[in-house]
Amino acid sequence: MPAFVICGPTAVGKGTIVRELLAAQPNMWLSVSATTRTPREGERDGTDYYFVSPQRFDELIADGDMLEWATVHGVHRYGTPRTAVDEAMAKGKIVILEVDLDGARQIRASMPSAHQIFISPPTFEDLETRLETRGTEGPSERARRLETARVEMAAKDEFDSIVINDDVARATGEILSIMTQIK
């Protein structure tokens, strides 16, 4: 079973879909990324992310411990710890890597067997509304994220599958069916 990369613009609902996938399939395993950003309200270290200092992040890169890493939205660094992914693959887990476009491109080069899925909003306007409704970022951070989102949307044809998140249950079902076909 290959690993599955899940990529998509900010606020498209990746987090919700991934949670649904994990709930639907007990053998599914989500990589916990390391990040230099600070935790949001309710986020837990080791569950949502490994929250690390910039110095620690430098060390992880220098030691070759990152499968991929990128600076996202021009600010903070995010990366996938390599060992945990290798171990999960060895155990026969269905591995999910939720990464940004840079990360997806790196994985395409270093792990070409991974199946890459892009989650798209029905329309760009829909994304703007979702980001505003979520309310976790201020106006300038929202603008920055929408800028990144435009670049990501323009790259969607690079992906093996494009899934439109018009409805969480439907999109999750489509991804589960893709996973079954790939197996």
Residues forming the site for ligand 5GP (CB under 6 A): 10, 33, 37, 68, 70, 72, 78-80, 98-100, 102-103
Position 67, amino acid? L
Three-state secondary structure of 28-77:
EEECCCEECCCCCCCCCECCCEEECCHHHHHHHHHCCCEEEEEEECCCEE
Q: What is the dihedral of CA 54, 59, 65, 70, to 10 degrees?
A: 30
Task: Please identify, using beta-carbon distances, which residue of 136 and 181 lies nearer to ligand 5GP.
Answer: 136
Q: Is-contact 45 56, C-beta < 8 A?
A: no
Nearer to ligand 5GP, 79 or 179 (CB): 79
Residues 6+ apart with CB under 8 A from 21: 28, 96, 172, 175, 176
Name the minimum Å distance from CB 77 to ligand 5GP: 8
Q: Which is nearer to ligand 5GP, 18 or 180 (CB)?
A: 18
Beta bridge partners of 49: 45
Q: How far is the CB of 100 from ligand 5GP (least distance, A)?
A: 4
Least distance to ligand 5GP, CB of residue 17, Å: 12
Provide, rounded to whole angstroms, the least separation between the CB of residue 24 and ligand 5GP.
20
Tokens 């909003």 -> residue: 121
Helix (H, G, I), strand (E, B) or coil at 82: helix
Cβ proximity to ligand 5GP, 35 vs 172, nearer residue: 35
CB of 115 to ligand 5GP, least distance (A): 17
**C-alpha–C-alpha distance, residues 40 and 163, integer Å:** 27
CB of 13 to ligand 5GP, least distance (A): 11
